[in-house]
Amino acid sequence: MRSARAIIIRVGERLLSSLPALLGVLVVTFVLMRVLPGDPAVFFASGPNAGQAEIDNLRQRMGLDQPLFVQLMHYLRDVGTGNLGNSLTTGQPVLTDLRQRLPASLELTFTAFTLAVIIAIPLGIAAAMRPNSLIDHGVRFVCTLGVCVPTFVSGLILIFVFYYILGVAPDPTGRLDIFVSAPPSVTSFMLVDFLIAGDLEGWMAAAKQLILPSATMALFVIAPLARITRASMLGVLSSDFVRTARAVGLSSVKINIVYALRNAMLPVLTIAGIMFSTMLGANVLVEKVFSWPGVGSYALDALLSSDYAPVQGFVLLMACIFVIINLVIDVLYGIADPRISVA
């Protein structure tokens, strides 16, 4: 009970202390918007022939004639009330667009992350248990190669092998084959929605669509995760308490998995957090390769057509997710190492 309370207090503290970082991102996006070439008032005016009076009028209405600080306050108010502006390309409020597309990105990222953790941690442990063995060298080789292949190349290689040569993967466009009807939207996560609807065939179709992009993303982060797991496990395995546990005669499963692994998890957690945020960035590339309708490809399309409100919205969204991720890592830290939440 006490530990649950400690966690809640800790979450509250961290949320408060992440406010300055969020505010910083807000100010930076605002400044970026101001640095942008071109006068928005001219942009929104009826056309190239718009008179100076009309532009001045628009500028006044948009608040562009106010001092910068006042404009910043207006911007903060808008963001606070959920008004992120409108996308010129889709004609919808940015918030609506982001809300529609975020689940696709999250589903992709979560799947990829789970995949990476499931593969990387056992690999790292196996390598640490037998240093300089064949498996250790194999893992090192995979790690060295893994960080060298850009996601957009590995994604295309996977498409070539599994779609073109083997023909086992579906057409690499979007979340669902066009002939499969989407499930009634409950959570907006395809896999979950299909399960709720009890449509196993549809679930398979969605999973097939998801597997290549998430494997692509996972490939890139397996290397750092496995490497840190190996290093951390090696350190823990040579420590005194493991030696004592061995001397006492505990089973090797108990020593390695229960005692050593738990102690080795802290650095892995740190790297996992950084990797998750790397994946959020890599989303943009992977979503482009697989025509995935997520927030990354949305921001990218907007960016390339000089539509800046969605880009700002996207950066803000990333900042918020980033704060949440750090919070989760922090709480997990407390669970993995009780000394932290006591302190």
Partner 1 sequence: MSVITLKHVRWVVASNPLTLVAASGAIIIALIGVLAPWITPQDPLATDVANAMQPPTTAHWFGTDQLGRDIFSRVVAATRIDLAIALSAVSLSFVLGAVIGGVCGYVGGRLDRVVGRVVDVLMAFPLFVLAMAMVAALGNRVENVILATAFINLPFYIRFARAEVNVRRDSGWVEAARAGGENDLSIILFFLLPNILPAMAVQVSLNLGWAILNAAGLSFIGLGVQAPTAEWGIMVAEGARFITSGKWWLVAFPGAALMLSVLFFNLLGDALRDILDPRMRT
> Could you say whether residue 326 binds partner 1 (CB under 8 A)?
yes
43 binds partner 1 (CB under 8 A): no
* Cβ-based nearer residue to partner 1, 41 or 319: 319
- Give whichever of 256 and 312 is closer to partner 1, judged by the CB atom: 312
Return the residue of 119, 319, 334, 341 that touches partner 1, per CB under 8 A.
Answer: 319
The tokens of 114 are what? 């789970």
| Stretch touching partner 1 by CB under 8 A, among 70-78, 85-93, 129-137, 273-281 | 273-281
Q: Does 19 bind partner 1 (CB under 8 A)?
A: no
CA geometry: angle 272, 101, 281, nearest 5 deg: 35
Site membership for partner 1, residue 63 (CB under 8 A): no
Residue 109, exposed/middle/buried by CB under 10 A (0-12, 13-18, 19+)? buried
Min dist CB 149 to partner 1, Å, is 5
Q: What is the dihedral of CA 165, 168, 174, 180, to 10 degrees?
A: 140
Look up tokens 């529609």; give the residue.
100
Task: Give me the amino acid identity at 324.
Answer: I
Instruction: Identify the three-state secondary structure at position 238.
Output: coil
128 burial type by CB count under 10 A (0-12 exposed, 13-18 middle, 19+ buried): buried
266 binds partner 1 (CB under 8 A): no
Position among 42, 46, 133, 164 found at the interface with partner 1 (CB under 8 A):
164
Question: Is 259 a residue that touches partner 1 (CB under 8 A)?
Answer: no
| DSSP characters over 52-99 | HHHHHHHHHHTTTTS-HHHHHHHHHHHHHTT---B-TTT-SBHHHHHH
**By CB under 8 A, residue 145 contacts partner 1:** yes
249: left (phi over 0), alpha (psi -120 to 50) or beta: left
Among 233, 245, 289, 309, binds partner 1 (CB under 8 A): 289
Q: Sketch the per residue contact string, 296 through 315, with partner 1: x for CB under 8 A, - otherwise.
A: ---xx--xx---x--x--xx
Binding status of residue 102 toward partner 1 by CB under 8 A: no
Measured N-to-C along each axis, helices 134-146 and 94-129 cross at an angle, to the nearest 10 degrees, of 150
Decide whether 22 or 95 has the Cβ nearer to partner 1. 22
Judged by CB under 8 A, which of 191, 236, 264, 280 binds partner 1?
Answer: 280
SS3 state at 35: helix
Q: What's the closest the beta carbon of residue 71 comes to partner 1, in angstroms? A: 16
Count of residues interacting with partner 1 (CB under 8 A): 49
Burial grade of 170 (CB within 10 A; 0-12, 13-18, 19 or more): middle
For the bound state, the minimum distance from the C-beta of residue 111 to partner 1, rounded and expressed in Å, comes to 18
Residue 142 binds to partner 1 (criterion: CB under 8 A): no
CB atoms within 10 A of CB 82: 9
Q: Which among 204, 219, 224, 104 is positioned nearest to 155, based on CA atoms?
A: 219
Closer to partner 1 by CB, 256 or 283: give it: 283
Question: Is residue 281 a contact residue for partner 1 (CB under 8 A)?
Answer: yes
* Residue 45 or 285 having the CB closest to partner 1: 285
- Whose CA is closest to 269, among 215, 218, 326, 220? 326
Residue 123 contacts partner 1 per CB under 8 A = no
CB of 3 to partner 1, least distance (A): 26
Does 288 help bind partner 1 (rule: CB under 8 A)?
A: yes
Residues lying near partner 1 in the complex (CB under 8 A) are found at 21, 24, 29, 32-33, 35-37, 144-145, 147-153, 156-157, 159-160, 163-165, 171-172, 273-274, 277-278, 280-282, 284-285, 288-289, 299-300, 303-304, 308, 311, 314-315, 318-319, 322, 326
